[in-house]
Chains A and B, each alone.
Chain A
Amino acid sequence: EADIYQTPRYLVIGTGKKITLECSQTMGHDKMYWYQQDPGMELHLIHYSYGVNSTEKGDLSSESTVSRIRTEHFPLTLESARPSHTSQYLCASRQSGGNYGYTFGSGTRLTVV
């Protein structure tokens, strides 16, 4: 059973709309990550966080932004959605110095029309 929750699970939205994808974890993990999974299934790191008030851009340039005001919450925001943003977004977390295990959410499948 996942201890990291992503909402919504599916979202269809019009071009130009602002959206926020939610990610919350109950494990107190300090590190959190956002991955974008393209239709070909390849995973790209777009954002990560070392902890509260820490956010960094990942390997793949993304027009999205993130925030980390609380340990358990790592939302991703698109100010103006475009069809090119259509993708699956996966959130993950891990605890530094732990058993190096990563926990993944179930993902949000975003479609921009």
Chain B
Amino acid sequence: AQTVTQSQPEMSVQEAETVTLSCTYDTSESDYYLFWYKQPPSRQMILVIRQEAYKQQNATENRFSVNFQKAAKSFSLKISDSQLGDAAMYFCAYRSADSGYALNFGKGTSLLVTP
């Protein structure tokens, strides 16, 4: 089974600054999908960004971008110009071909944004 590791339980960033959240994963598959989800206190899971492994170009969505290093099995999330509304739990996830293509989540990183 694939494992997803988020080594930073908590991170803090000042408003308007940039922060990078780390994620590594373990897989023997060559084609797969990776995701970053945000879970605010409301508990609704919100998709932040998605990366297809066969694409070499790093995905970007406005202030959010990823650094996808396939050989290193690394998938970090960069948040630029951080806003107070970015404060949440962030989960890195791997879409497995097993278990009905369920998402396999890391343990999460709690992001605090300070004024």
Contacts and interface: CB of A to CB of B under 8 A. Distances in A.
Contact of A40 (B39, B42, B107): B107
B99 to A, nearest CB: 6
B105 interface: yes
Interface residues of B, number: 23
Among B43, B100, B103: residue with most chain A CB under 10 A: B100
A47 to B, nearest CB: 10
A92 B101 CA distance: 12
A96 to B, nearest CB: 8
A48 B33 contact: no
A94 interface: yes
Interface stretch (B11-19, B44-52, B63-71, B77-85): B44-52
Contact of B108 (A2, A35, A41): A41
B99 A88 contact: no
A59 B99 contact: yes
Contact of B99 (A40, A58, A101): A58
Contacts of A96: 101
Nearest to A107: B43
A2 B105 contact: no
16 contacts: A33-B103, A41-B89, A41-B110, A42-B107, A43-B105, A48-B100, A48-B102, A49-B100, A59-B1, A90-B43, A92-B45, A92-B103, A100-B33, A100-B95, A101-B47, A102-B103
Interface of B: 1, 33, 35, 39, 42-45, 47, 50, 89, 91, 95, 99-105, 107-108, 110
